[in-house]
Amino acid sequence: MPQIQNKTKLLVHMALFVALEIILSRFFSINTEIVRIGFGWLPIVVIATLYGPVIAGATWAIADVVGFFLFGAGLGPYFPGFTLTNFIGGVVLGLFLYKRPVTVVKIVLTVLLLSVLSLGLNSVWLNILFGRGFWIVFTSRILQTAILAPLQLILIWVVAAEKSPTSETLRRLAV
């Protein structure tokens, strides 16, 4: 019976964080055709800390698909490349934050990899989707990364670091 309860708890947590990601990404972010600045990644940091890379990747991918089909991107058709990028981003978060001591170096590496994913893969997807030159898309997304990277560094530390005020609360939530 405990396994069923744990699976149920996992599904409830995934649904909660999918909903939070959709709300933060779709309603509380700045969106243009090429740039999205928001906090939709923050619920994925929490679930990566609680459940690891596969669950975090799946949660972010599900949130992307569900969010698009419920509310649309408003700027174009559904494109699975963004879902792939989100899945990989969730995996990266889980690999660095799950059941391991979280250090400043790990957070910096995590943010660096997330930035490379956003700048690199998402620029490729936008180039394919809208037919603009890769470097034009890439350079216009540098501002997004410059704004988000410091916020990610600080907020990932607050959420995931061992000695942060929220880490003990999160660990109790997962039990």
Q: How far apart are CA 164 and CA 18, in angstroms?
A: 24
Phi, psi for residue 30 in degrees, rounded to 5: -95, 120
User: Domain of 85: which CATH number?
Assistant: 1.10.1760.20
173 vs 154, residue with greater confidence: 154
Q: How far apart are CA 4 and CA 11, in angstroms?
A: 10
Residue pLDDT, tens place only, 7-48: 888 999 999 999 999 999 888 877 776 667 788 899 999 999
Residue pLDDT, tens place only, 125-168: 888 888 878 888 888 888 888 888 998 999 898 888 765 656 66
Asked whether the beta carbons of 167 and 137 are under 8 A apart, the reply is no
As for how many domains the chain has, the answer is: 1
- Domain span at 33: 2-174
Provide the whole-model pTM.
0.85
